[in-house]
């Protein structure tokens, strides 16, 4: 039996060197390495600005909270797909907004763009598409609708590191994009998240939001990096300390230097890791048609590259077995599995207070009951991919 864990992490020698320097100098809180990581992440995505935060959930929430500086009020609505990791819905609520859920397209696992317009009300402020499993959402249609109704677009790109759509990098397709840097993701800082944007004003607000809503906007705080005198700090007319002026309701969501050091190493090896993971994902996707009509996965369109986060597997209607039977068989054979999430409004009890109609999201609910995903990470090779395929084949032989 081969063991196929869901994910892996490479802490590079360079990361270890930086961590050791950080520990020696005791400059541990957000500082020059967080800034270096942000600059390199922005350059990789092709965005002007990047602001690192504590988690991907916070990246979603802080990006949304920026909208309060642009006319949004608490309780305004954000359109999100019904199917996602629960963090997407949690982040909307944590930011003080109301999530309005739209069903997904079962083929892409992403928001069904044909159903967005009927969900728009006077309170709608933004659409937050999720590029689930790294497959880009239909951004042309989403941006067209957003433009027509004057809405912001914030990409939840948590699972879409390295994805591209019609010649552009995912992460540059809306007003802001939020990434998770949790260990399960291709670029990781252990825990962490980052927001990218081309707008300097958004980035300044994000830096304020991650530090309690302070009036400070600097890319890197001089007090944290060198303990020097900060010339901006007492520059107001009455010499009030701007560090203790809180311009907006903030969060406590800074990234620390040790996390950034791990992230810098992850950026150093990103291209190799992406190539390996993409080889694994596309190999598995290519071979997957042999399991039809019982099992399916997503398809790659010619105009996109999927961010190789994981391989989604869907148990189709006519299968004589359940998702849980397949999951049990795979786990017994050493293959780590994860569910393919739930319909947040109808399958996650925490959202019940929103009183969404049960079975109002049939596609998301179907995936919630019949979906799973498995890892495609860089420590797996074609031998391990073949093992995954062979294990599924054996299961189908026994159960169909
Ligand atoms: C689609 C999506 N959004 C948001 C998040 C939240 O990220 P984190 O776990 O870093 O808070 C995740 C987590 O992986 C995710 O998959």
The answer to the question of residue 3 being in a domain is no
Cβ burial of 152 (10 Å; 0-12, 13-18, 19+) is: buried
The answer to the question of residue 192 being in a domain is yes
Give yes or no for residue 158 CB within 6 A of ligand 1: yes
The answer to the question of residue 82 being in a domain is yes
Residues 159 and 218 placed together within one structural domain of the fold: yes
Give yes or no for residue 84 CB within 6 A of ligand 1: yes
Question: Can you give the pLDDT at residue 227?
Answer: 83
Q: pLDDT-based confidence at 386, cuts 50/70/90?
A: very high
pLDDT at 358 over 90: no
Task: Read off the pLDDT of residues 136-174 as tens digits, 9 standing for 90 and up.
Answer: 999 999 999 999 999 999 999 999 999 999 999 999 999
Q: 177 C-alpha vs ligand 1 centroid, how far in Å?
A: 12
For a pocket test of ligand 1, which of 171, 179, 180 has the largest count of ligand atoms closer than 8 A to its C-beta?
180
Question: Where are the alpha helices (H) located in 100-192, listed in sequence order?
Answer: 139-149
Give yes or no for residue 97 CB within 6 A of ligand 1: no
Give mean pLDDT, residues 94-117: 98
Neighbours of 84 (CB within 10 A): 29
Residues 101 and 168 placed together within one structural domain of the fold: yes
Domain boundary residue, one of 268, 283, 318: 268
Residues 201 and 329 placed together within one structural domain of the fold: no
Give yes or no for residue 130 CB within 6 A of ligand 1: yes
Give yes or no for residue 54 CB within 6 A of ligand 1: no
Residues 142 and 37 placed together within one structural domain of the fold: yes
Q: 148 C-alpha vs ligand 1 centroid, how far in Å?
A: 29
Give yes or no for residue 180 CB within 6 A of ligand 1: yes
The answer to the question of residue 356 being in a domain is yes
Residues 166 and 297 placed together within one structural domain of the fold: no
Task: Read off the pLDDT of residues 307-321 as tens digits, 9 standing for 90 and up.
Answer: 999 999 999 999 999
The answer to the question of residue 381 being in a domain is yes
Give yes or no for residue 85 CB within 6 A of ligand 1: yes
Question: Can you give the pLDDT at residue 342?
Answer: 98
Average pLDDT, the chain: 97
Residues 214 and 236 placed together within one structural domain of the fold: yes
Q: 57 C-alpha vs ligand 1 centroid, how far in Å?
A: 6
Task: Read off the pLDDT of residues 285-303 as tens digits, 9 standing for 90 and up.
Answer: 999 999 999 999 999 999 9
Give yes or no for residue 280 CB within 6 A of ligand 1: no
Given the CA of residue 341, which atom of ligand 1 is nearest to it? 16
Give mean pLDDT, residues 332-346: 98
Coil, helix or strand for 263?
helix
Residues 178 and 147 placed together within one structural domain of the fold: yes
The answer to the question of residue 91 being in a domain is yes
Question: Can you give the pLDDT at residue 296?
Answer: 98
Question: Can you give the pLDDT at residue 226?
Answer: 85
The answer to the question of residue 5 being in a domain is no
The secondary structure element, H or E, covering residue 346 is helix 344-347
Give yes or no for residue 81 CB within 6 A of ligand 1: no
Question: Can you give the pLDDT at residue 223?
Answer: 87
For a pocket test of ligand 1, which of 57, 194, 195, 339 has the largest count of ligand atoms closer than 8 A to its C-beta?
57
Residues 178 and 291 placed together within one structural domain of the fold: no
Residues 33 and 113 placed together within one structural domain of the fold: yes
Do 95 and 61 form a contact (C-beta atoms < 8 A)?
Answer: yes
Question: Where are the alpha helices (H) located in 79-236, listed in sequence order?
Answer: 87-94, 139-149, 200-210, 222-225
Given the CA of residue 185, which atom of ligand 1 is nearest to it? 14
Report how far apart, in Å, the C-alpha atoms of 132 and of each of 80, 119, 191, 344, 378 are.
Answer: 12, 20, 19, 14, 20
Question: Can you give the pLDDT at residue 127?
Answer: 99
DSSP letter for each residue of 201-251: HHHHHHHHHHBTTBS---SS-HHHHT----TTTT-STT---GGG-B-S---
Task: Read off the pLDDT of residues 235-282 as tens digits, 9 standing for 90 and up.
Answer: 888 999 999 999 999 999 999 999 999 999 999 999 999 999 999 999
Domain boundary residue, one of 240, 268, 296: 268
> What are the structure tokens assigned to 51, written together?
């602001």
Domain residues for the domain of 362 are 274-399
Give yes or no for residue 361 CB within 6 A of ligand 1: no
Give yes or no for residue 156 CB within 6 A of ligand 1: yes
For a pocket test of ligand 1, which of 52, 62, 82, 85 has the largest count of ligand atoms closer than 8 A to its C-beta?
85
Residues 312 and 251 placed together within one structural domain of the fold: no
> What are the structure tokens assigned to 326, written together?
């397949």
User: What is the spatial distance between Cα 351 and Cα 194, in angstroms, rounded to a whole number?
Assistant: 26
For a pocket test of ligand 1, which of 55, 95, 137, 158 has the largest count of ligand atoms closer than 8 A to its C-beta?
158
The answer to the question of residue 6 being in a domain is no
Do 157 and 179 form a contact (C-beta atoms < 8 A)?
Answer: yes
| Closest protein CA for atom 10 of ligand 1 | 56
pTM over 0.95: yes
pLDDT at 377 over 90: yes
CATH of the domain at 362: 3.90.1150.10
Residues 306 and 254 placed together within one structural domain of the fold: no
Domain boundary residue, one of 202, 236, 268: 268
CATH of the domain at 181: 3.40.640.10
User: What is the spatial distance between Cα 339 and Cα 5, in angstroms, rounded to a whole number?
Assistant: 14
Residues 262 and 283 placed together within one structural domain of the fold: no
Q: pLDDT-based confidence at 10, cuts 50/70/90?
A: confident
pLDDT at 224 over 90: no
Task: Read off the pLDDT of residues 42-82 as tens digits, 9 standing for 90 and up.
Answer: 999 999 999 999 999 999 999 999 999 999 999 999 999 99
Q: Are strands 152-156 and 124-127 parallel, antiparallel or unpaired?
A: parallel
For a pocket test of ligand 1, which of 56, 83, 92, 157 has the largest count of ligand atoms closer than 8 A to its C-beta?
56
Question: Can you give the pLDDT at residue 283?
Answer: 98
Give yes or no for residue 177 CB within 6 A of ligand 1: no
Q: pLDDT-based confidence at 203, cuts 50/70/90?
A: very high
| Closest protein CA for atom 7 of ligand 1 | 56
Give mean pLDDT, residues 83-89: 98
How many structural domains are present in the chain?
Answer: 2
Given the CA of residue 191, which atom of ligand 1 is nearest to it? 10
Q: 54 C-alpha vs ligand 1 centroid, how far in Å?
A: 12
Task: Read off the pLDDT of residues 126-138 as tens digits, 9 standing for 90 and up.
Answer: 999 999 999 999 9
């Amino acid at each position: 039996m081969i063991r196929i864990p869901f994910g892996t992490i490479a802490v590079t020698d360079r990361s270890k060197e930086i961590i050791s320097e950080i520990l020696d100098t005791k400059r541990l809180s957000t500082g020059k390495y967080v800034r270096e990581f942000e600059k390199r992440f922005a350059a990789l995505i092709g965005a002007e600005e990047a602001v690192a935060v504590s988690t991907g959930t916070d990246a979603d929430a802080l990006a949304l909270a920026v909208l309060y500086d642009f006319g949004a009020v608490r309780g305004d609505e954000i359109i999100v797909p019904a199917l996602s990791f629960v963090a997407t819905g949690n982040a909307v609520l944590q930011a003080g907004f109301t999530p309005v859920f739209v069903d997904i397209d079962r083929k892409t696992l992403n928001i069904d763009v044909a159903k967005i317009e009927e969900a728009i009300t006077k309170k709608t402020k933004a659409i937050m598409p999720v590029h689930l499993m790294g497959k880009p959402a239909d951004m042309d249609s989403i941006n067209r609708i957003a433009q027509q109704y004057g809405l912001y677009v914030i990409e939840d790109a948590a699972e879409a590191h390295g994805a591209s759509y019609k010649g552009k990098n995912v992460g540059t397709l809306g007003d802001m994009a939020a990434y998770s840097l949790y260990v399960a993701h291709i670029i990781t800082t252990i825990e962490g998240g980052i927001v990218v944007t081309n707008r300097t004003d958004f980035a300044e607000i994000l830096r304020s939001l991650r530090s309690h809503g302070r009036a400070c906007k600097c890319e890197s705080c001089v007090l944290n990096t060198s303990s020097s005198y900060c010339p901006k700090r007492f520059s107001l007319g009455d010499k009030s300390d701007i560090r203790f002026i809180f311009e907006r309701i903030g969060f406590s969501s800074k990234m620390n230097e040790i996390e950034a050091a791990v992230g810098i190493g992850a950026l150093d090896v990103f291209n190799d890791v992406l190539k390996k993971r993409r080889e694994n994902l596309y190999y598995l996707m290519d071979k997957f048609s042999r399991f039809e009509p019982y099992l399916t996965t997503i398809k790659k369109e010619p105009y996109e590259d999927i961010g190789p986060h994981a391989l989604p597997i869907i148990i189709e209607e006519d299968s004589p077995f359940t998702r849980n039977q397949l999951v049990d068989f795979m786990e017994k054979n050493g293959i780590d599995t994860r569910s393919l999430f739930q319909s947040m409004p109808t399958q996650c009890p925490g959202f019940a207070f929103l009183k969404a109609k049960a079975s109002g999201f049939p596609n998301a609910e179907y995936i919630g009951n019949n979906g799973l995903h498995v890892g495609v990470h860089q420590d797996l090779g074609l031998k391990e991919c073949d093992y995954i395929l062979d294990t599924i084949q054996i299961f189908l032989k026994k159960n169909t």
